[in-house]
Amino acid sequence: IGGYSVLTKSMIGSGMLGMAYAGCQWGFVMGILACFVTAGITYFTVYVLGVMAMEYMSASTGELSFFNVAKFVSPKTSWLIDLGVAVKAFGASVAYIQIVGSLMAEVILQGFSLSIDRQTIKYIVQIILVVLLAPAVYCKSITATKAVNMFGIANLAYLALLSVVYAQPSWDNVTIWPLSAS
């Protein structure tokens, strides 16, 4: 369940930030098309990773990891895989912490009558997030983060439910085609 939760949260999380903006700019039809193209690319990537992992496991008795598979496929450039994964993970983590800090600062300011600056609340929320999530960094394997990922998936499901319950959809302002084609 640990590996599935990591993949599920990664795929859902990466789409939530960019696809809504792309759909807003490109229109409804192109937004849906972009979702299908992205899903196809993601499926192909997971398929290739699965094939490489099966070949690696049949050719070796070592532990399955991005680094070991990269070392098996291309020994001289295997460090690039670790660098790429680290940069992507760090960038996504920073983006999520910034977004949650900004949103929670707004929630706190609207929910409580505080005389604290919005930026100060944002920094406090970001520090709390870093302190709460820091132990997950020290896990020995990615499957050890399943509790954090399941919590993330539950939060994404809760956000989707809130969107459905509290949204007041209207087709008045929906752009079917890209803005330049309208």
Give the pLDDT score at 4: 63
Q: How far is CA 2 from CA 16, 41, 101, 136, 137, in A?
A: 21, 23, 27, 13, 15
Which residue type does 137 have?
V
Q: How far apart are CA 172 and CA 97, in angstroms?
A: 34
Q: How many structural domains is the chain composed of?
A: 1
Q: For residue 124, which of 116, 133, 113 has the smallest C-alpha distance?
A: 116
pLDDT band of residue 135 (cuts 50, 70, 90) is confident
Cβ atoms within 10 Å of 167's Cβ, excluding its own? 8
Give the pLDDT score at 14: 59
Q: How far apart are CA 143 and CA 6, in angstroms?
A: 8
* Six token digits for residue 32: 């849906």
Tell whether 10 is covered by a domain.
yes
Tell whether 172 is covered by a domain.
no
Most confidently modeled range among 10-14, 51-55, 108-112: 108-112
Tell whether 169 is covered by a domain.
no
Tell whether 157 is covered by a domain.
yes
pLDDT band of residue 137 (cuts 50, 70, 90) is confident
Q: How far apart are CA 180 and CA 25, in angstroms?
A: 9
Tell whether 182 is covered by a domain.
no
Tell whether 84 is covered by a domain.
yes
The range of the structural domain enclosing residue 22 comes to 2-162
Tell whether 179 is covered by a domain.
no
pLDDT band of residue 15 (cuts 50, 70, 90) is low
* Six token digits for residue 94: 């920073």
Q: How far apart are CA 34 and CA 20, in angstroms?
A: 11
- pLDDT tens readout for residues 156-173: 788 778 777 777 766 676
Tell whether 174 is covered by a domain.
no
pTM confidence score: 0.57
Give the pLDDT score at 180: 60
